Amino acid sequence: MANVNPISKPFNLSMILCLAALNWGASRLPYLRTWDNLFLSHLRIGLMKLYRCLSIVSISGMLMTQALAQDQKPYTVNDLTFIALESSPQVLAARDQSKAVKGQLSTARAIPNPEFEVGTGQQRSVTGPLTVGNVSSWSVIQPLDMPYTRFPRVNAAEANFRSAEATRIAFEIETISKVQQRYYELMRRKAEEKAAEEDLSLTKQIRDRMQVRYDVGETARFELLRAQTEYLNAQIAAESGKLRVEQARSVLRQVVGHNLPVNFVVVFEQPKIETLPPLNILLSEIQAQSPELQKAKADVEVSESRLSFEKNSRLPRLAFKASQYNDPNFTDRLYGLQISIPIWDFKGGQVAEAEANASKAKNQLNAQSQNLEQQIETAYKLYQMATYQVKVLDQEVVQLAASAQRIAEVSYRYGERGMLEYLDAQRTFRAARNDLIKARFDLASVVTEIQRLRASPDWLAKIESGRQ
């Protein structure tokens, strides 16, 4: 939408009204004196000069705005991806969660703190000959971090951190996929808009040619009406194409984030379709690289480690204790071990809960694995179908339709065929060309989906490079 100067628009209207009023007054008041007419004439001239000056200022402002828009650096798909990764609330929240879980890992690895106790007072003898005076005592208790509880606790924390990291990577990969999908959608709509503009120009030429032939009596009115109908349909398609481009731009900005300017410019490129490996290799890559599966596997490790921790927590816990008591008569030093044995609470409820959580995590892992395998198999079939469709459309259908179009045009010019056959050939070519545009970007979309499922190494490298 073009920028409108909010000051110049009402002023222009007021200036027009003022000039109209002055002209009306000059024409309707013949009894005015000569100097009055001269005054009105000079006033009109002055207002016209002022109007021209303000118009120049307004035009200069519009040109400056357009120049700024032109000087803006076009965004590549990598630029859009970087902006999205650095501004997405989901990605930022996942990164914060990963940092928080990393802090929990440090806590799990820490050795238990010792406990200190210090006391002081006075000693008084009630019956005996003991010496009275000041007394003091101290003690220190160092809980021992038993291996059978420490290892499961640390393993659970490490697995939880891997789960958080996998969640972060999954969000970032999902963001990259969304940006690329919306970017390809914008490119598709832009290509369709360009094709619609070409169709509009061509149908206009045909309409104008038919109008000339109709005016000289060389064609029927029916053929002229058909040409006018084709031209009007092309106008509708061109306007619809512009609207779809703006809608695609809006959706792309919504996905990237509001850090992207409203009037952003995008570098339009044809999608580069890489050849994917066979399905069995893709399935093995999913098992090894998919962040969703990595998270599910880490969750299984977390649940199993917590189950082991709860079971081992029923074993005795030990602590080293040293103490000393001082009074005027003697000093006592004691060294020993404290043992905590669960007698009344044998952690039956905690163990049962941990067992259920471990079983649930394993079932979720199996379900996630099956779901991803089904998705990649479906996407790979769509990839094969789209690849075949693009090949046939590009190398055969569009070429044949273009040849038929050229033959029909030549035949029409030499009077061998009518306008209806020529228009049908044009319509067939446009349909084949539009099918090719759609097929190319459908192929790019399904390849993007496969890259998301397999966690493309290029995407992982892009994520890690952005974090450095």
CATH superfamily of 77-122+132-467: Outer membrane efflux proteins (OEP) (1.20.1600.10)
The DSSP 8-state label assigned to residue 278 in this structure reads: P
Length of the chain: 468
CA–CA dist 444, 389 (Å, integer): 13
Residue 38: predicted pLDDT: 46
Residue 459 tokens read as 């995407």
Going from N- to C-terminal start, the domains of the chain cover 8-71, 77-122+132-467
The residue type at 377: E
Q: Which residue has the tokens 């501004």?
A: 87
Facing residues of 115 across strands?
141
Q: Is 246 exposed, middle or buried (0-12, 13-18, 19+ CB in 10 A)?
A: middle
**pLDDT tens track, the chain, 468 positions:** 334 343 344 444 444 444 444 444 444 444 444 434 444 454 455 545 544 544 454 554 454 445 444 456 899 988 999 999 998 888 899 999 999 999 999 999 999 999 999 999 887 776 666 667 788 999 999 999 999 999 999 999 999 999 999 999 999 999 999 999 999 999 999 999 999 999 999 899 888 988 888 888 877 888 889 889 989 999 999 999 999 999 999 999 999 988 888 889 998 877 777 788 999 999 999 999 899 999 999 999 999 999 999 999 989 999 999 999 888 778 889 999 989 888 887 888 899 999 999 999 999 999 999 999 999 999 999 999 999 999 999 999 999 999 998 998 888 877 777 777 888 888 899 999 999 999 999 999 999 999 999 888 888 887 877 655
Residue 128 tokens read as 């005996």
pTM given for the model: 0.75
Residue 206 tokens read as 């045909």
Cβ–Cβ under 8 Å, residues 254 and 264:
no
**Alpha helices, DSSP H, located in 393-414:** 398-413
Cβ–Cβ under 8 Å, residues 317 and 343:
no
